[in-house]
């Protein structure tokens, strides 16, 4: 404890001395740095902040130093996160390379793969996309058809991947591909890293109900992929994917509390948009819905802490398995609640007559609908809980 | 270390579970009910519980206590919730002990706590006057007369009221009916002259009473805390009671849920286990998710009693509101998923359903605690 306290002091001092004032402001989507060949720094200060953090090894403090991490413990990494949050320091580098691929490579990748990709992620040299879902394989991910044929010295990849986040700005994509068409569904799948500059790879953005095009569809037409890019064993990609899904769900569960966008708290919006009588929100139904939401978020926040403490003490519980479900459902509830609180002011799509934040709230409302679908829909989450926590018999339907 | 149990606490939980499953299973409550037991609990069981130190678990060692902290008490109450064990534990060891600890002067603590620790003294909080929890809407009067107070009024829904040795009576010594100021807490012997007690039989087959005070005379040294300032003791005592009760509710919910899941794996209809139906799987999984959130809330609320009491009002209301809703949905689903047998008296699940309804009203229903939480949040 003493060590952690003195570590906290060091972190505090370092951040105070090194985090530029401009990087202590709430971040907007335009201010984020995602790295990669197609990306530039949003400002000189953002670059300075990123470089200082990189030199310090704090871009991903818990990764080993030989791959550019800080070699720190989970507890120390959490202290850094807390101290950054305390001074509202911006996240210097975003990306699913950090959040998802990196942890999977550390567990399943070979030494060459770790050396090639982990420092590149931390240095901001490569930005990653995820290639899991296909037009015909959404919640039923294991039915995927994108195939990689063994051509002796390379794989030949054909097919397409959908919901590839920001793939039009990414350098690499990690994909689940079918390598054995005869094997039972989950058994013939492999985990492959593909350079998006390779001939035959193309990407098109998909317009969403939120008006944004964060997601893309990526096509593979006779793409030659070196065999060295296979992660884990051939036909055993499903276990890599499952480990990675855990990181994705954890990330999505936490997104509400750690969103890069300016998330409006419903109880703050209530003060701005609702009438009060004797210190209470006059609309009893909205007040009731709001307190339900605040209580749920309070309980979810405590459960995140519990998950962390259980991990630290090497205790197991079912809590991590429910977080994606409750986190994303709460996110949807929040958005609906904000619309109820804002009335017609919450319906502005673009242009004059509405503040930027009002419009953004509506766009986020539309986006929140994707949260309970992506990364394993809420229904899939319920199936997982029924199967792996409650151990109920296999569903027939 | 707030959100996981330490090794000692886990050991305490295991001991309590083993003891209660043998000594106080649900069948023991059924027997008390069917025998129309006048006391409503088994004094032999209570004696054993006090020998294990459960009555004194939150008391400092100087009063013969275990000084194990509120989380320890919560761990035991949760296990009591699993078997619906009838005992004075909640009213005496959680609520009564807290009232004396927080409100009592050193003479009162010396006089009462050691006998509370050994199970010789049981307590009950005489608070409610209407059929809803309105903790500072009090009309029972405590009128000063020389060195004495004269108490007149009527109390309802007094848990353990007919069996406790002493009552902690919330009375108005000044001010208007709904004013939190002007309340005084008084210790009154249950056999005091002018006090009449009517035991009520409620859904849960446990103990509650209506109590009438007519010119009940007590000496002013029976005042717990300051005259007219009783609210400053009562509010934290109620919050501790809410958290302790919420822990018991957690145990009730877990047990009813686990019994239901086990049933889904053994009952066959249409040639398959009913647990294979997705309609039931998803509802069960939703309950599991809610149980996980409530587990974190309970652990935090219990530890904040000792560690961060300034956060107790918010956490107590969070815990009571969430657990109210949890036991309601879990017990309703438990009955529904058991099907026809779920509505028979033979199956024990009905005892869980009924105890849950009493728990939901005790120390404040969901509406009360949602309103309080919202008010504490400033809206």
Residue A218, domain CATH: 2.40.110.10
Structural domain contains residue A315 = yes
Of B281, B297, B370, the CB nearest to A302: B297
Q: Indicate whether B220 and B242 sit together in one domain.
A: no
pLDDT tier, A25 (very low <50, low <70, confident <90, very high otherwise): confident
pLDDT of residue A333: 97
Task: Report the predicted TM-score, pTM, of the whole model to 2 decimal places.
Answer: 0.89
Which one of B79, B98, B120 terminates a domain?
B120
ipTM of predicted assembly, 2 dp:
0.95
Q: Indicate whether B55 and B14 sit together in one domain.
A: yes
Give me the CATH number covering residue B162.
2.40.110.10
Give me the CATH number covering residue A371.
1.20.140.10
Instruction: Enter the tokens of residue B125.
Output: 């909080």
Structural domain contains residue A179 = yes
Structural domain contains residue A365 = yes
pLDDT of residue A375: 83
Give the residue on A whose Cα is nearest the Cα of B316.
Answer: A295
Domain containing residue B238: 232-376
Domain containing residue A213: 128-237
CB interface of A with B, residues 262-291, below 8 Å: 267, 270-271, 276, 279-281, 287-288, 290-291
Rounded to a whole number of angstroms, the distance from the CA of B247 to the nearest CA of chain A is 15
Q: Indicate whether B265 and B192 sit together in one domain.
A: no
Q: Indicate whether B53 and B135 sit together in one domain.
A: no
Which one of B178, B201, B229 terminates a domain?
B229
CA distance A55 to A299: 37
Q: Indicate whether A282 and A363 sit together in one domain.
A: yes
CA distance B152 to B125: 16
* Chain B residues close to A396, C-beta within 8 Å: 272, 276-277
Q: Indicate whether B259 and B214 sit together in one domain.
A: no
Q: What is the mean pLDDT of residues A142-170?
A: 94
Q: Indicate whether A216 and A267 sit together in one domain.
A: no
Q: Indicate whether B293 and B262 sit together in one domain.
A: yes
Structural domain contains residue B223 = yes
Instruction: Please report, rounded to a whole number, the percentage of residues in chain B having pLDDT higher than 70.
Output: 100
Q: Indicate whether B252 and B224 sit together in one domain.
A: no
Contact B4 A306 (CB under 8 A): yes
Structural domain contains residue A269 = yes
Structural domain contains residue B1 = no
Structural domain contains residue B2 = no
Structural domain contains residue B49 = yes
pLDDT of residue A250: 75
pLDDT tier, A259 (very low <50, low <70, confident <90, very high otherwise): low
Q: What is the mean pLDDT of residues B86-95?
A: 97
Domain count, chain A: 3
What values do phi and psi take at A66, rounded to 5? Answer: -65, -15
**Average model confidence (pLDDT) for chain B?**
97
Q: Indicate whether A206 and A310 sit together in one domain.
A: no
pLDDT of residue B214: 98
Structural domain contains residue A117 = no
Structural domain contains residue B34 = yes
For residue range B162-178, what is the model confidence (pLDDT) as tens digits?
A: 999 999 999 999 998 89
Give the residue on A whose Cα is nearest the Cα of B280.
Answer: A386
Q: Following CA atoms B156, B162, B165, B171 in sequence, which dihedral angle do they give, to the nearest 10 degrees?
A: 10
Q: Indicate whether A219 and A147 sit together in one domain.
A: yes
Find the DSSP H helices in A39-154.
Answer: 44-56, 74-86, 96, 102-108, 111-122
Instruction: Enter the tokens of residue A139.
Output: 């919640």
Give me the CATH number covering residue B314.
1.20.140.10
CA distance A48 to A46: 6
A301-334: string of b/e by CB count within 10 Å (b at 16+)?
A: ebbbebbbbbeeeeeebebbbbbbbbbbbbbbbb
Q: Indicate whether B315 and B294 sit together in one domain.
A: yes
pLDDT of residue A214: 84
Structural domain contains residue B248 = yes
CA distance A300 to A45: 34
Q: Inform me whether the C-beta atom of residue A381 falls under 8 Å from chain B C-beta atoms.
A: yes
Which one of B50, B85, B120 terminates a domain?
B120
Contact B288 A322 (CB under 8 A): yes
For residue range B105-137, what is the model confidence (pLDDT) as tens digits?
A: 999 999 999 999 999 999 999 999 999 999 999
Q: Indicate whether A180 and A264 sit together in one domain.
A: no
For residue range B203-234, what is the model confidence (pLDDT) as tens digits?
A: 999 989 999 999 999 999 999 999 999 999 99
Q: Indicate whether B253 and B194 sit together in one domain.
A: no
Give me the CATH number covering residue A79.
1.10.540
Q: Inform me whether the C-beta atom of residue A295 falls under 8 Å from chain B C-beta atoms.
A: yes
Give the range among A99-103, A106-110, A246-250, B202-206 with minimum mean pLDDT.
Answer: A246-250
Q: Indicate whether A213 and A312 sit together in one domain.
A: no
Residue A257 pLDDT more than 60? no
Contacts of A296 (CB under 8 A, 6+ apart): A326, A330, A333, B293
Domain count, chain B: 3
Burial status of residue B81 (CB atoms within 10 A of its CB: 0-12, 13-18, 19 or more): buried
Residue A1 pLDDT more than 60? no
């Amino acid at each position: 404890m003493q060590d952690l306290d003195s570590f906290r002091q060091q972190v505090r001092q370092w951040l105070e001395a090194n985090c530029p004032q401009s990087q202590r402001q709430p971040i907007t989507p335009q201010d984020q740095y995602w790295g990669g060949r197609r990306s530039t720094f949003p400002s000189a200060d953002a670059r300075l902040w990123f470089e200082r953090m990189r030199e310090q090894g704090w871009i991903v403090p818990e990764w080993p130093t030989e791959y550019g991490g800080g070699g720190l413990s989970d507890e120390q990494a959490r202290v850094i996160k807390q101290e950054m949050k305390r001074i509202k320091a911006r996240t210097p580098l975003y990306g699913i390379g950090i959040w998802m691929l990196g942890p999977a490579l550390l567990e399943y990748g070979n030494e060459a793969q770790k050396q090639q990709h982990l420092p590149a992620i931390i240095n901001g040299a490569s930005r990653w996309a995820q290639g899991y879902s296909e037009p015909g394989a959404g919640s039923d991910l294991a039915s995927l058809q994108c195939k990689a044929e063994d051509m002796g010295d390379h794989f030949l990849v054909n097919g397409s991947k959908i919901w590839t986040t920001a793939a039009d700005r990414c350098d690499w994509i990690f994909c689940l591909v079918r390598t054995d068409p005869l094997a039972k569904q989950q058994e013939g799948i492999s985990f492959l890293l593909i350079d998006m500059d390779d001939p035959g790879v193309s990407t098109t953005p998909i317009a969403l109900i939120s008006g944004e095009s964060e997601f893309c569809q990526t096509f593979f037409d006779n793409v030659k992929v070196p065999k060295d890019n296979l992660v884990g064993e051939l036909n055993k990609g499903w276990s890599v994917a499952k480990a990675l899904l855990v990181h994705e769900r954890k990330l999505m569960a936490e997104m509400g509390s750690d969103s890069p966008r300016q998330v409006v708290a419903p109880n703050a919006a209530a003060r701005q948009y609702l009438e009060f009588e004797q210190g209470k929100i006059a609309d009893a139904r909205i007040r009731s819905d709001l307190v339900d939401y605040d209580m749920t978020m309070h309980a979810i926040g405590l459960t995140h802490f519990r998950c962390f403490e259980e991990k630290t003490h090497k205790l197991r519980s079912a809590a991590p398995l429910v977080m994606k479900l409750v986190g994303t459902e709460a996110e949807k509830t929040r958005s609906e609640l904000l619309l109820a609180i804002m009335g017609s002011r919450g319906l502005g799509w673009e242009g004059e007559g509405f503040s930027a934040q009002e419009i953004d709230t509506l766009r986020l409302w539309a986006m929140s609908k994707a949260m309970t679908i992506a990364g394993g829909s809420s229904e899939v989450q319920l199936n997982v809980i029924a199967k792996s926590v409650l151990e109920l018999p296999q569903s027939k339907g | 270390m707030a959100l996981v149990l330490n090794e000692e606490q886990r050991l305490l939980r295991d001991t309590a579970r083993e003891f209660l499953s043998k000594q106080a299973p649900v069948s023991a409550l059924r027997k008390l009910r069917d025998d129309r037991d006048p006391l409503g609990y088994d004094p032999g069981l209570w004696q054993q519980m006090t020998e294990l130190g459960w009555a004194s678990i939150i008391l400092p060692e100087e009063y013969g206590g275990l000084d194990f902290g509120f989380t320890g008490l919560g761990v035991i109450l949760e296990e009591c919730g699993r078997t619906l064990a009838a005992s004075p534990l909640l009213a005496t060891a959680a609520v009564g002990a807290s009232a004396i600890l927080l409100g009592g002067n050193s003479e009162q603590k010396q006089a009462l706590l050691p006998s509370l620790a050994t199970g010789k003294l049981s307590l009950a909080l005489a608070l409610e006057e209407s059929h809803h929890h309105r903790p500072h809407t009090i009309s029972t009067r405590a009128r000063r007369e020389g060195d004495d107070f004269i108490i007149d009024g009527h109390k309802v829904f007094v848990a353990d009221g007919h069996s406790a040795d002493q009552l902690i009576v919330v009375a108005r010594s000044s001010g208007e009916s709904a004013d939190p100021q002007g309340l005084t807490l008084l210790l009154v012997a249950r056999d005091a002259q002018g006090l009449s007690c009517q035991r009520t039989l409620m859904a849960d087959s446990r103990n509650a009473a209506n109590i009438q005070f007519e010119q009940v005379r007590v000496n002013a040294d029976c005042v717990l805390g300051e005259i007219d300032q009783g609210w400053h003791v009562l509010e934290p005592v109620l919050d501790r009671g809410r958290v302790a009760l919420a822990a018991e509710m957690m145990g009730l919910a877990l047990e009813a849920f686990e019994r239901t899941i086990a049933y889904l794996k053994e009952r066959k209809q249409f040639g398959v286990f009913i647990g294979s139906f997705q309609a039931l799987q998803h509802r069960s999984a939703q309950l599991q998710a809610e149980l996980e959130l409530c587990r974190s809330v309970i652990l935090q609320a219990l530890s904040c009693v000792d560690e961060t009491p300034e956060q107790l009002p918010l956490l107590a209301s969070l815990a009571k509101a969430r657990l109210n809703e949890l036991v309601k949905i879990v017990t309703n689903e438990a009955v529904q998923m058991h099907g026809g047998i779920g509505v028979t008296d033979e199956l024990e699940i009905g005892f869980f359903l009924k105890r849950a309804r009493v728990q939901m009203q005790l120390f404040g229903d969901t509406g009360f605690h949602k309103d309080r939480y919202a008010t504490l949040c400033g809206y």
